Amino acid sequence: KNQVEQSPQSLIILEGKNCTLQCNYTVSPFSNLRWYKQDTGRGPVSLTIMTFSENTKSNGRYTATLDADTKQSSLHITASQLSDSASYICVVSATGGSYIPTFGRGTSLIVHP
């Protein structure tokens, strides 16, 4: 069964600090992995997408890494801002015609001033 596990479940940091969110998956055969940001009361918005051959991808202060061998990904947030407070969701898609991705439960990040 395809699964996506995220850790930690929640995280509180001070503004300006860095943090790293983790995602482990068992989706196979692997196609791509996305990180979404979901603000409270809003729908998820894509931050990055990574395919099998990509190790690192950045989007501003967000940097995603992928290790396809160990089936792990991380999302690193640099110099956090109050607006980074949100839920971060790891989503993994499989090849072979499956158009329904597998969603993690998300990590809830709170950035305090």
Partner 1 sequence: GAGVSQSPSNKVTEKGKDVELRCDPISGHTALYWYRQSLGQGLEFLIYFQGNSAPDKSGLPSDRFSAERTGGSVSTLTIQRTQQEDSAVYLCASSSYSTGTGVEQYFGPGTRLTVT
Binding segment for partner 1 (CB under 8 A), chosen from 14-22, 53-61, 78-86, 101-109, is 101-109
Cβ atoms 36, 87 nearer than 8 A: no
28 touching partner 1, by CB under 8 A: no
CB of 41 to partner 1, least distance (A): 7
> What is the x/- site pattern for partner 1, positions 71-100, by CB under 8 A?
------------------x---xxx-xxxx
User: What is the number of other CB atoms lying within 10 angstroms of the CB of residue 103?
Assistant: 15
Q: What is the rounded CA–CA span in Å between residue 54 and residue 51?
A: 6
CB of 72 to partner 1, least distance (A): 18
- CB-nearer residue toward partner 1: 105 or 112: 105
Cβ atoms 78, 21 nearer than 8 A: no
Binding segment for partner 1 (CB under 8 A), chosen from 17-25, 64-72, 77-85, 104-112, is 104-112
Q: Which amino acid is at 30?
A: F
Which tokens sit at 31? 């196609």
